[in-house]
Amino acid sequence: HTYSILINMRVVIQRVSKASVTVDHNITGSIGQGYVILLGIEKEDTIIDSDWLCKKITALRVFADTDGKMNLSVTDIEGECLIISQFTLHAGTKKGNRPSFIKAARPDQAIPLYEAFVSRMQDALTKPVQTGKFGADMQVSLINDGPVTIIIDSKTRE
């Protein structure tokens, strides 16, 4: 039998008309039209997952063209991105009512992958990527445009 390790970097992408993140009463990131990306990193994730997600996200066609159809990518519209680390995307809720976060990567593994993801997104976009603060208590404010919210999982490649 062949066994494979299930890798599972997970993102929630929200198409926004504007968004910001606040840490300790200070705005650390603010964008206009583009994406808020909530990024959850699991223990088994690698740079391959990060690279695949960046390519997928920047190519997604969810912005309206001149005919009003979702046909343009964030790069086509020269949109912005606000990236927020969110380990709770890997909450396990199978047993009991208190979520388990055992699958979430520890900071020593997650921080380099988070930074690589931010760097890769920055390379792909024409405007600076905005971020929160890894591991901090953050308040995210956004106007979800549409609303359009998409979940992508690097394990299932969808």
Greater model confidence, 43 or 28? 28
Q: Is the pLDDT of residue 6 over 70?
A: no
Q: Is the pLDDT of residue 48 over 70?
A: yes
* Upper half-sphere CA count for residue 121 (Cβ side, 13 Å): 29
Q: Is the pLDDT of residue 5 over 90?
A: no
Greater model confidence, 154 or 115? 115
Q: Is 133 exposed, middle or buried (0-12, 13-18, 19+ CB in 10 A)?
A: middle
Range with lowest mean pLDDT among 43-52, 66-75, 125-134: 43-52
Residue 33 falls in the annotated catalytic set: no
Q: What is the pLDDT of residue 157?
A: 52
Q: What is the pLDDT of residue 2?
A: 38
Region for 157 from its dihedrals, namely left if φ exceeds 0, alpha if ψ lies in -120 to 50, beta otherwise: left
Q: How far apart are CA 95 and CA 82, in angstroms?
A: 33
Q: How far apart are CA 29 and CA 48, in angstroms?
A: 26
Mean pLDDT (the chain, rounded) = 89
Q: What is the pLDDT of residues 60-75, one digit of tens each?
A: 999 999 999 999 999 9
14, 58, 63, 86: the catalytic one is: 86
Q: How far apart are CA 153 and CA 68, in angstroms?
A: 28
63, 87, 117, 131: the catalytic one is: 87
Q: How far apart are CA 86 and CA 40, in angstroms?
A: 5
Q: What is the pLDDT of residues 89-128, one digit of tens each?
A: 888 888 889 888 888 888 898 999 999 999 999 999 989 9
88, 126, 139, 149: the catalytic one is: 88
Residue 14 falls in the annotated catalytic set: no
Residue 117 falls in the annotated catalytic set: no
| Mean pLDDT on 54-59 | 94
